[in-house]
Every structure is written in structure tokens, then in C-alpha cells.
Chain A
Amino acid sequence: MLWNTVQLALQAIRRNLLRSFLTILGIVIGVAAVITMVTLGNGATRSISAQIASLGSNLLMVMPGQMMRPGAGSTAKPFESRDIEAIQTQISALKAVAPVVESSATVIYGAGNWSTSVVGTTNDYFTASSWTFAAGRPFTEAELRSGKSVCVVGDTIRRQLLAGKDPLGASLRIKGFAAEIVGVLKSKGQGGMGRDQDDTVVMPLRTVQRRISGSQKINMMMLSVRDGVLSDDVVTQLKLLLRERRRITAGKDDDFEIMDTKEIAQTLSGTTKTLTGLLGAVAAVSLLVGGIGIMNIMLVSVTERTREIGTRLAVGALESEVLLQFMVEAITLACVGGLLGIAAATLVSMVLTRMLLVPYAFNVGINILSFFFSAAIGTGFGYMPARRAAKLNPIVALRHE
């Protein structure tokens, strides 16, 4: 009997394909929306984690001033080379301590020019921010000490100015002086906030201080914590040391800030997870609306098919068989809607993730959940119309115009 009823339901659905499709459109869109939102959200979370990991693992960034507080920052005094030395000698849990002086400059090679950011630092910088060399070498001790005019370039610079040429030994003009390329960095790709990390020129700290920034100031320090050491402990030690060196008396606030990439990663991925949940919930509402659409059409269909129901009852259908037929119709519609929604979501997610440059991954959990949710909606919203159909009085139904 069940199989017969399923056949009847399928027959009824096939008899009016267009309307059946319109009926399930709400479910299709609802399921597709939920899955796409969650897939995109997960992709974004993973992409953010990956970007932060590419900044360097166990990385601490130390900046003068308090970024998170209004009005502060500019007045705090910058770091000096002696701060770097002090940190290197007093905190043993650090793998690398790199001063960073960053300024923007136009780089010229032959007829080409390119505006980029020039970073003055030491070889620790390559360790701290996880750079590897595609060609050439880092700076020598002598180059660093004397502030020699040499540089290591990122992949973007190589592509923009030196395409097809051997970059090693070539000489770039930066702010009116020539700098010989001694190394090329391996590409890291897009960084956080859409910044191209490969668009960079790295030079010895002294060279930049003397020839570009014109001061002894250090804008930022990048510290890399040794593996297996808790970054929280290092942050505490660092705080004490810097407070002492910057003569901050007890009770006063820090005039510098330490950012832990691990913490940022956690915060950011936490935020995107919340957003994913929120978007998914909004999409789930549309799924519910889709269910109401099914109920609406099924109710209309019961009225429209009153004579048909009367005929079925007259040729010997039991109330329970009519109920079952309409239930099966609703559930089948909802399930087909769910499947189409999954197909649509897969397609849309693939396209959108490519456009938004986030990784795509088929999320089994949310697909299964959405499918069963839509099936449940079909069952729930299909019951009322089905009951109404089964309870029809055959005499009245047969006379219905």
C-alpha cells in the first residue's frame, strides 16, 4: 500500500511539473542560501587563519603607543636599536628579534618604476615573518653593520620590474641611490586585508635609517617566539622589560602595544564564526518561508483537486490513503527541493568562493542538516493540507465545481 501511494504521489507531481517546481522553489532557495552562507563563512574563517599563519607563527608585533585607544599613538616615543639588543640578551625564549622601519618609496629599474614599501630590518625579519628565499641570500654581517646599499626583493617587484631578467646583481634606484639585489623572496601571496605581501623591498636597517627615513627611530619590532614556549609568558616578560626601559612608573598605562598573532587569529576566526552563524540563521528563516510556500500551494491544490479527491474516495480509497498520498507529495517535493538546493549551493559556493578568493570545501554536516531540515519542513507543513484532503466529505467533493 505504501509503495502504491508513493506511485500515486509521484504521478500527481509529474502531472503538474511546472507548479511542482514553483512549489519547491522556496525550499531550493532556502537550502541553497543556508549551505552557501555556511560554506562561505567557513571558507572565510579558514582563509583568515591561513593568512595569519603566513604572517609568521608565534609572532609578536610590538608597536609604540596604544592603538586601541583614541588619540594615543603618535606621541609615544619610538624604539631604539638599544631596545632590540636588550630584548635579545634578556629574553631567551625568542627565536628572532627584528626591528622594522617601513616607509614607502618609488623603485626604479631601467625605464620601469614601481611604488612599494621599503622595509629596513635585520636577517631576523626573514625568520619572524616566515620568508624563504627563491634565489640569492640574506644580508651579511658586514652589510648590516655598515648599512650597505643592498636589497632583497619580493616576488611582485621581480615580476613588475625585472620580468625575464636575472634579478641577482641588478641594481635598483631607490630615492636617488642605487641598491644591488642580493636575494629574491619566495611568493607568499595575498596577506590580510587584501594586502600584497610580495610587494616589498627589504634593506638593512642602517641603510633605510640613513638614506630614506633619516632618523634612528624604529617603528615596530617583530619577535618570534621559540616553539614550545607559551607566548603569554614571553609577553609578560617583554612588558616588564619595556616598561622598565621606557621608565613607566607603576600605575601608569603602557605606552606601547604587543600584538600576538595567535590571539588575533582566534579573535578574527571567532568573529567570522559568529557571522557565519548569523547569516546561516537568516538563511534558515528563508527555508522556513519556503516551507510555508509548500503548505500554501498544497492547500490550494487540495481545493483545486477536490473532485479528484472525491473520485479517489468513491473508487475505494481510505482516508488514510488520501492522507498518506498528500503527505508523500509534500515530503517528496520538499526532499527534491532539498536536493536541488544542495546542487545549487554547491555550484554557487564554488563560483563565489573563487570570486571572493576563499578556499572551497564541501561541508558534509551542513548539507545533511539542511536536507533533513527541508524534509522535516515538508512533513510539518504538508500535514495540515493532507488532513484537510483526507477529511473531505466525498459527496460534497464529487459535486465540487
Chain B
Amino acid sequence: MTAPDTPLIELVGLTKSYGEGAAQILALNGLDLRVDEGDFVAIMGPSGSGKSTVMNILGCLDTPTAGSYIFRGVHVEALTGRQRTLLRRYFLGFVFQGFNLLARTSALENVELPLLYRGIAKAKRREAARAALDQVGLTGWEKHTPAELSGGQQQRVAIARALVTSPAILLADEPTGNLDTKRGREIMDLLTSLNRQRRITILMVTHDHDLAAYAHRIVRFVDGSVEPGPAGAGAP
């Protein structure tokens, strides 16, 4: 489908600034990053180093001030808002630190949500959602609402929701930030197995060195760009 030398994602000189003139803040300062298909990348860095900004731009929730975001050879920064939404709908999956499940809605319906926006028929939706919940080990919990699930289970539902569309890449912003160490490791095991077995590309932001160790490689951010060094290899 994609030539092996075309990366899934390529960021070139990505810059994002807020404010004007003297009050201008540079959140990203000419950042370069390359993510290949099937990769599992952990992004680390202190607060304010631009991790979240990159995730938002990658997730098409935000646009860069300058530079390029190339997704499978397509310049995303040139797309319209509607096109970016559709890219998000068909190619991206999100896992948030705060889970962001719909309250008073069953796990099954939560997982179905992205399929609903894709216009998939009800029976197919049900089937796919069940399969996704099964994959994250939540068979038997379909009818439960988020309030009836533990934090770890809620995050599994959120991962199932991200997976159900078979996205090109899973963007996880501190997926274990609200969980204890044990649950955090379980989630990491799950992500690792998804990456291995289903060849899903994962880009994850984390503060935890132990969790970052699950990834193939770690990218360190400092002041809006990638820290040079052996661990922060932006390009091979």
C-alpha cells in the first residue's frame, strides 16, 4: 500500500507559536520527526517542551504556524478543516489521559461511537465493537457504563474505541497518567501486543521512564524541538 521508504508521518521544521510580538511564545521550534509504519515511539520531555502541541497537530486538532506535517505523503497543513476532520475520522485513533468516555453510556456504545460517524450500519457496528472490547480483554463488560468500570477498564474501553476503526496510528497522550503502576503496566502490555500482533503504529507521550521502555525508541523533547543524542534519534 505504501512504499517502504515513505514514512507514515514526517514532520519537517514544524513550528508553532502563540501570541504576537514580544509576548510571542514558541511552543515548537523547527521540530523534525519521522514515524514509520508499525513503529512504537515514546515521546518524553519536561512540561512545556511541546509534547502536547505535537500530539494536537498530529491529531489534526491544531495547525502548525510553519513547517510541514506529511501524512503518507500528504501535506496536512495544506488541507481544509473539513479534510483534516475526515483524516482524523478515517486514519487516527486517540487515547487520552482522562479516558474521555461518554458518561451514562455503555462500554459497547462508547466503542461504537467512531463507527457511527463513519456511517456504518448498526449490526456491523455492534460486531466490530464487541470484537474490539474482546481484544482489550473486556468481554462481558459491554453493558457497563464508565461509572461502573475501574480506571484501568475505562482506559481499555478508550483503547477499544481507538482500535475499532483500525486506525493507521494510535496517538496516546499519557495513557497511564491516571492509573496506578500495576494498571499502567497492563495497559502498556496491551499496547505492546497490539503493536506486535496487529502492526498498529503507536505514538505515545509519557513521563515514566519504565513505561517509555516498552517502546521501540524514545524521542526526547526540549524547548520545542527534539533533543539530539543517542536516545533522541529523530532519524536513523
Instruction: Give me the interface of A with B, judged by CB distance under 8 Å.
Output: 1, 4, 7-8, 11, 15-16, 307-308, 310-319, 321, 394-395, 398
Q: Which residues of B contact A395 (CB under 8 A)?
A: 56, 61-62
Enumerate chain B residues within 8 angstroms of A316, measured Cβ to Cβ: 85-86, 88-90, 92, 114, 117-118
Q: Which of B59, B105, B109 contacts A314 (CB 8 A)?
A: B59
Q: B85 contacts which chain A residues (CB < 8 A)?
A: 313, 316-319
Q: Cα distance A398–B96 when bound, in Å?
A: 9
Is B82 an interface position by the 8 A CB rule? yes
> Assuming A11-B109, A308-B103, A314-B94, what are 19 further A-B pairs, CB within 8 angstroms?
A1-B119, A4-B117, A312-B113, A313-B85, A314-B61, A314-B96, A315-B113, A315-B114, A316-B89, A316-B92, A316-B114, A316-B118, A318-B85, A318-B117, A394-B61, A395-B56, A395-B61, A398-B98, A398-B100
B221 CB, nearest partner CB in chain A, Å: 18
Return B111 CB to nearest CB of chain A, in Å.
10
Min CB–CB distance A236 → chain B (angstroms): 78
Neighbouring A residues of B74 by C-beta, 8 Å: none
> Given the complex, which residues of A lie within 8 Å of B114, measured CB to CB?
315-316
Q: Which residues on the A side are within 8 Å of B119 (C-beta)? A: 1, 4
The docked-state distance in angstroms from the alpha carbon of A312 to that of B117 is: 9
Shortest CB–CB separation between residue A326 and chain B, in angstroms? 15
Identify whether the interface residues of A are mostly helix, strand, loop, or mixed: helix
Residue among B89, B92, B102 having the largest count of chain A Cβ atoms under 10 Å: B102
Assess A7 versus B59: contact at CB under 8 Å? Given A316-B90, A318-B82.
no
Q: Is B161 an interface residue (CB 8 A)?
A: yes
What residue of chain A has the Cβ atom nearest to residue B116's Cβ?
A: A4
Q: Which residues of A contact B62 (CB under 8 A)?
A: 395
Q: Which of B75-90 contact A (CB under 8 A)?
A: 81-82, 85-86, 88-90
Complex contacts, B82 vs chain A, CB 8 Å: 318
B216 at the interface (CB under 8 A from A): no
Interface pair B161/A315, CB less than 8 Å apart: yes
Q: How far apart sit A23 and B109, CA to CA, in the bound complex (Å)?
A: 25
Complex CA gap A394/B63 in Å reads: 12
Nearest Cβ distance between residue A239 and chain B, in whole angstroms? 79
In the assembled complex, B104 has its CB within 8 A of some CB on chain A: yes
Query: How large, as a class, is the contact surface on chain B?
Result: 20 to 34
- Bound complex: CA A286 to CA B118 (Å): 41
Q: Find out whether the CB atom of A11 lies under 8 angstroms from the CB atom of B100.
A: no
Q: In the complex the two chains form, is B61's CB within 8 Å of A315's CB?
A: no
A150 to B118, CA, bound (A): 93
12 CB contacts below 8 A, A to B, read A1-B119, A15-B104, A311-B101, A311-B102, A311-B113, A313-B85, A316-B88, A318-B85, A319-B85, A394-B61, A395-B56, A398-B100
Complex-state Cα separation, A57 to B30, whole angstroms: 97
Which residues on A sit within 8 Å (CB–CB) of B92?
Answer: 316
- A316 vs B83: C-alpha distance when bound (angstroms): 11
* Pair A315/B89 contact, Cβ less than 8 Å: yes
Task: Report how far A11 CA is from B125 CA in the complex, Å.
Answer: 16
In the bound complex, what is the Cα–Cα distance between A8 and B94 (angstroms)? Answer: 20
**How far, in Å, is B164 (CB) from chain A's closest CB?**
10
CB contact between B116 and one of A7, A307, A319 (< 8 Å): that residue:
A7
User: In the complex, are the beta carbons of A308 and B88 less than 8 A apart?
Assistant: no
Q: How far is the CA of A362 from the CA of B39 in the complex (A)?
A: 70
Query: In the complex, A1 Cα to B105 Cα: how many Å?
Result: 21
Question: With the chains together, A310 CA to B173 CA distance in Å?
Answer: 15
Chain A, residue nearest B120 (CB)? A4
Interface centre among B82, B85, B92, B98 (most CB of A within 10 A): B85
Q: Which residues of B contact A315 (CB under 8 A)?
A: 88-89, 94, 113-114, 117, 161
Closest to A317 in B: B117
Roughly how many angstroms separate A314 CA and B161 CA in the complex, as a whole number? 11
A88 to B85, alpha carbons, bound, how many Å? 93
Give Cα distance in the complex from A398 to B174, angstroms: 14
| Nearest CB of B to A9, in Å | 12
Give A316 to B98 CA distance when docked, in angstroms.
18
- A310 vs B101: C-alpha distance when bound (angstroms): 11
Question: How distant is the Cα of A395 from the Cα of B18 in the complex, in angstroms?
Answer: 14
Q: Which residue of B lies closest to A3 (CB)?
A: B119
Q: How far is the CB of A147 from chain B (nearest CB, A)?
A: 88
By a CB distance below 8 angstroms, the chain B residues around A317 are 85, 89, 117
Q: Complex Cα distance A202/B103, Å? A: 79
| Inter-subunit contact B100/A307 (CB<8 Å) | yes
List the B residue with the shortest CB-CB distance to A320: B82
Chain A residues closer than 8 Å to B86, beta-carbon distance: 316, 318
Distance of A308 Cα from B103 Cα, bound (Å): 8
CA distance A312 to B89 in the complex (A): 10
B90 to chain A: which residues have CB within 8 Å?
316
Which of A11, A310, A316, A321 has the largest number of chain B CB atoms within 10 A?
A316
Distance A15 CA – B98 CA, assembled complex (angstroms):
21
Residues of A within 8 A of B81 (CB): 319
Q: Given the complex, which residues of B lie within 8 Å of A7, measured CB to CB? A: 116
Chain A residues whose CB sits within 8 angstroms of the CB of B113 once the complex forms: 311-312, 315
Residue with the greatest number of chain A CB neighbours at <10 A, chosen from B81, B86, B94: B94
List A contacts of B103 (CB < 8 A): 15, 308
CB distance from A7 to the nearest CB of B (A): 7
The 4 closest A-B pairs by CB, nearest first: A316-B89, A315-B114, A15-B104, A311-B100
Q: How far is the CB of A192 from chain B (nearest CB, A)?
A: 59
Q: How far is the CA of A123 from the CA of B119 in the complex (A)?
A: 84
Q: Are A314 and B56 in contact (CB under 8 A)?
A: no
Contact partners of A314 in chain B: CB under 8 A: 59, 61, 88, 94, 96, 100
